[in-house]
Amino acid sequence: MTYLIALIIAIALGAVIALLSFVNIGSGFGNQSAAAKAQQFSQAGSQLEVAMAAYRADNAGTAFDTDLAGTFANLENDDSGDNWLKEAPVKPTGTGTLSLQQDGTDVYLTLDGVSSQICDEINNLGGQSPASLGSAPQLSDVAGNRLICVTDSTDTLASFKVE
């Protein structure tokens, strides 16, 4: 009987310890997840930036073509047989739309619909201060910055200057 009581107490303590470790690991996992998504966006931007620079060097012109799909087609299948980008950039899971936008001669990989945690992590990677706007984020709000995320109370816009 005493062994049974000791066994029940040990099981109960094990369950409490498992629950506490899950709670602590859970919040840490969420923070790492935001950092991983920010890193994924940054890596996609870097790869696209390198591919577009290589295209420009070989063709004396831009690979940009109105949208991400058209630009990727230019980078993937060139008449000369060159292939500067093997895969199209993939947006981080649980975020909005990944697209290419042009502002003057600058081209930006943009991502909308990111959480405030991901936005903060993107700004950490880009060495930027959190930028809060009074209105919905526009491409002009990020112009000139290599990697930045801006937000108002409801919308976010992350960008990576690729050309």
- Which sequence spans correspond to the domains of the chain? 31-161
pLDDT for the residue 101: 83
pLDDT for the residue 53: 84
The whole-angstrom separation of Cα 163 and Cα 152 is 26
pLDDT mean by block of 10 residues, the chain; 163 residues: 73 70 53 81 86 81 78 72 74 80 84 85 80 66 79 80 84
Question: Residue 95 half-sphere exposure, CB side, CA atoms within 13 Å?
Answer: 26
